[in-house]
Amino acid sequence: MTESRTYDVVDLIRRKRDGGVLDDAEIDWLIKAYTRGEVADEQMSALAMAIVLRGMTPDEIARWTQAMIDSGDRLDFADLGRPTVDKHSTGGVGDKITLALAPTVAACGAAVPQLSGRGLGHTGGTLDKLESIPGWRASLSYDEIRRQLDDVGAVVCAPTDTLAPADRKLYALRDVTGTVESIPLIASSIMSKKIAEGTSALVLDVKVGSGAFMKDVDDARQLAATMVELGASAGVRTVALLTRMQTPLGLAVGNALEVREAVEVLSGGGPSDVVELTVALAREMLAAVGLDDRDPADALQNGQAMDVWRRMIRAQGGDPDAGLPRARETHVVPAPAEGVLIRMDAYAVGIAAWRLGAGRARKEDPVSPVAGIELHAKPGAYVRTGQPLLTLHTDEPQRFAHALAALDGAIEIAPYGSRPAQPLILDRIG
C-alpha cells in the first residue's frame, strides 16, 4: 500500500460529501490509518455516510476493496490437492443453504473454505445455526482450516482475526450508523473477505425481495455485477445468481430448526426449494473449478454429501449423532380463512423469529438455538380455516405476543383462484 504522505481526513470527507473522487493513495492511507486507530470512528462514520449518499466510482470501489484486503493476511490454498471454491449469500430468511451445500460440493471433488458470519436483525447466521450442534466450534486457526480442507474437503468456520481487519472494524461501525445500505460498501465488504480467504472461485447468491437487504431487482443486479467485477479483477472466477426472497426459504426459520432441515436435505429429502437452490449453486461452484462432470444431485441422493457433513461436524468438535435442542414452548398460528395462500412475507417471518430469540439486535447479543418458526404451508397451497400455518418455538413464552405482532398482515389468503408459480432463480451474472 502507498504511504508516502499523511492526508487530512476532514478534506477527504468534504470531497466525498461534495461528490468528488478519492485517489488510490488517499484510499490506501485512509484504510490503513483507520485500522490503526489514527482515523476516529466518527470521522469514518461521516465518510461512510458521504459514500452512501454520493456513491463511488468503479476505480474507487476496486481500490477500497484492495486496501481492506491488504489490511491483513491473505490465505493461500493453492497447493491443496483439489480446487477451492466458495459461496456467499447476501442473507435471507430460512437461508440454510451453506449447511448442505459445502459438504455436497466437497463430495464432488472440490475444497470449500466457507468462512461464514453470524446473524444480525432478521437474517440468520450460519455460525449461529451450527453452534446449536453440541460441541461444534466456529473458531479455527489457519493451520486447522488447511488440515480440515485436506482431510474432509469442507470447512465452515469464522474468519481468522487477521483476515481483512479493516472490514471487520468498518462493518461494525456501519451497522450502528445507518450506513449499511450502500452498494459500494456492501460489495467491498463481501469481496475483501472472500478474496482474502484465498479461494480460486466464488459463487454469489444475491437475494432479492422483502426478506433480503436488496428489495429491488435492479439494485440486486447492480450489486451482483459490482462484486463479479471485483472478483474478476482480483483473479477470482466469480459468478452470481439472483434469487427470490419474498417468502422464507424452506420450512424452517431459526438455528436448530434450520440445521434439522439441512440434515433432511443431506439425507435425500427436504423442501423442494432448498434442494433446488442447493443443487443450482453446487453446479455453478463445480463448473467454476472445472468439475462440471460431477452431479451434486447424485451426491445428495447416494449419501456421499451426508458422509462429508458428518466428518465436517466431527472435525470441529461436534457430534453429528447428538439430538438437536428443542424449545420448551410452542404456539400454533392457524389459517384465518379458507382459500389459496398467496403471500407469506419473508421479512415479517424473519422479524418474528428474531423476536422469539433466534436473532440478535447487536453483535454481542446471545441467540437462542431453539427459537424459530416452522412453516406448514407455502404460497400456492390451499388451506382451510383453522389449519396450522406456522408454529412458533421459544423457551420464553412471554416472547409470543411480540412475535405475533410482527406477523400481523404478513399472511394473505385469497378465497379462490391460484398463485402463479414464482421462479426461485431470477438471473445469472458472470
Closest CA to 191 of 221, 223, 219: 223
* Distance (Å, whole) CA 138 – CA 221: 32
* Distance (Å, whole) CA 82 – CA 306: 20
Joined grid coordinates for residue 248: 422464507
CB 314 within 8 A of CB 232: no
What are the residue numbers of the active site? 88, 167, 174, 189, 193
Q: Which residues, including other chains, have CB under 8 Å from residue 32's CB and lie 6 or more apart?
A: 1, 3, 67, 70, 71, 166
* Distance (Å, whole) CA 212 – CA 227: 17
Q: Which amino acid, 14? A: R
Cell numbers 465452515 correspond to: 156
CB 187 within 8 A of CB 56: no
Closest CA to 44 of 62, 25, 64: 64
CB 172 within 8 A of CB 142: no
- Distance, C-alpha 244 to centroid of its chain: 14
* Residues pairing with 282 in the sheet: none
φ/ψ (deg, to 5) at 65: -60, -45
Q: CA dihedral defined by 191, 168, 134, 113, rounded to 10 degrees?
A: 30
